[in-house]
Amino acid sequence: MKIGLAWSVGLAAALLVTDQLVIKETPTLSRFYLDFVFFALVAALIPIGIFDYLNRRWVKNIEDQLPEVLRIVSQSQRTGSTLPRAFEEASKRASGALAIELRRAVAKMSWGVPFEDALRSFSKRVGTPLVRRTVSLIIECYKIGGNIEQVMEQTASYTRELHSLRKERYAQTRPYTIVIYIGVVVFLISTYMMFKSFFIPITELAGTGAWTLGAFSVADFKQALFLMSIVQATLSGLVAGKISEGSLTAGIKHSVVLLTMAYILFMFI
């Protein structure tokens, strides 16, 4: 995420500097200003969105496999294996991103790193609340002892149920995301109609002397409406991500889509 943020800031800064150079040389080319505002904002958002998407997909893969790994650990313990040995067996039978992380933890244990420290390192790398809680529970059970395989089964059931609840939440909040898209589309259509049916006629009247607008022109009105649409699209996309996935950064992809819609609309005005 930090790399994505650095790339975003660099690209946006480069475009804005170029923008200022272009405007300084050709101050009347407001279309260039609008273009650079759009592309600078998109250049700032896309890298963050890509890194966030890849990180979320990686975390989702790990959390999807976690219940199955805990079940394997429980089965291995029923056959008499110790908890570290059970995790080593699970790392061989698991798949995806979680298998890679488990093999790293097992490799550390083979180098002499204590079992608890290896699991804490794994928890710190993944960093999600679910993984942190699960690892803390496993470490405490390992320290205390007792019927660990039963605890593993109950933990696997808990993580599976929690994952199911998250899917249900996403399905329930999806209509709200659609409503946000509809709201932005209505706003853009209203903006287009306002510009064509109100601002252009009054500027024509101003040209005949029947109406006065001071120093304002059609380009000024267009620029103001465009910036309003940019703000509306960006914030609406972030809100959509917060509602559907619980994170503002998850809404960046929605913001880019809505920004593109706004830009395309203003290209035809």
CA distance 161 to 19: 51
96, part of any domain: yes
Structural domain count, the chain: 1
193, part of any domain: no
218, part of any domain: no
Write down the H helix ranges in 111-147: 115-126, 129-144
pLDDT digits (tens, 9 = 90+) for 167-223: 787 788 888 889 999 999 999 988 888 877 877 777 666 555 444 455 566 677 777
Least confident of 32-36, 58-62, 158-162, 178-182: 32-36
12, part of any domain: no
Please count the CA atoms within 13 angstroms of the CA of 84 that sit on its side-chain side: 14
User: Residue 246 region, left (φ>0) first, then alpha (ψ -120 to 50), else beta?
Assistant: left
Quote the Cα angle for 111-114-118, to 5°. Answer: 85
CA distance 203 to 214: 10
144, part of any domain: yes
Confidence of residue 19 (pLDDT cuts 50, 70, 90): low
247, part of any domain: no
pLDDT digits (tens, 9 = 90+) for 50-81: 888 888 888 888 888 888 888 888 888 777 77
**CATH (domain of 94):** 1.20.81.30
Total-model pTM: 0.74
**Residues spanned by the domain of 73:** 65-165
Residue 225 confidence (pLDDT) above 70: yes
CA distance 252 to 20: 26
